[in-house]
A and B are shown apart, each in its own frame.
Chain A
Amino acid sequence: AQSVSQHNHHVILSEAASLELGCNYSYGGTVNLFWYVQYPGQHLQLLLKYFSGDPLVKGIKGFEAEFIKSKFSFNLRKPSVQWSDTAEYFCAVNARTGNQFYFGTGTSLTVIP
């Protein structure tokens, strides 16, 4: 079975600091990769996704993620965080042969003004 690991459970940063959230998955086949964000009191929203092509993908609000196939990783980055980035971030993996998404346990990000 597939699994997704998010190693950072809680991250606290000051505004303007750089962010990198780790995501590793276990699956030997071809996958689609996603990062979702859940702002306080809001529902899950798609931040960015990778299906194929350039392994560096850009999403909304200045986020980007890099797919490194050899490391089974899809880390999320942002060069300079803002207070409004305070949220919970979920990495998700989906095998292209099925429609079952596997989510990590999430990383709670708190940005201090």
Chain B
Amino acid sequence: KAGVTQTPRYLIKTRGQQVTLSCSPISGHRSVSWYQQTPGQGLQFLFEYFSETQRNKGNFPGRFSGRQFSNSRSEMNVSTLELGDSALYLCASSLSQPGETQYFGPGTRLLVL
């Protein structure tokens, strides 16, 4: 089986712009979670989607949003980018039940200038 794929792998944006990141889960996985990884902070949970609905949400501002499509692919959007949004954004997929193992993609590295 192919693993979790994320596009693009690298992005450079300027403050105030918006960005959309894409994630394709492992075939058969219906849950997709997004994380922000920064040095010293580790991984911080953004949100989780299941069956096109947001099932869980972390403590990030409303500038961070996401959606999931009927084929389980997911997108994450960040509007009005700030310098502090520079990070590695990771997507993870899992089967449908809560608590199951999450499998991670390679991430999208976002640099905000």
A residues adjacent to B (C-beta < 8 A): 32, 34, 36, 42-46, 49, 51, 90, 92, 94-106
Contact = CB atoms under 8 A, between A and B. Distances in A.
A103 B98 CA distance: 16
A63 B21 CA distance: 34
B40 A32 contact: no
Interface centre among A46, A92, A99, by most chain B C-beta atoms within 10 angstroms, is: A99
A111 B21 CA distance: 35
B101 A34 contact: yes
B64 interface: no
A102 B45 contact: yes
A105 B98 contact: no
Judged by DSSP, the binding face of B is strand
Contacts of B103: 46
Nearest to A91: B42
B31 interface: yes
Chain B interface residue count: which class?
20 to 34
Interface of B: 31, 33, 35, 40-45, 48, 50, 55-56, 58, 90, 92, 94, 98-107
A42 B98 CA distance: 26
A35 B45 CA distance: 16
Contacts of A95: 99
8 contacts: A43-B105, A43-B106, A44-B90, A44-B92, A94-B99, A100-B56, A101-B33, A101-B45
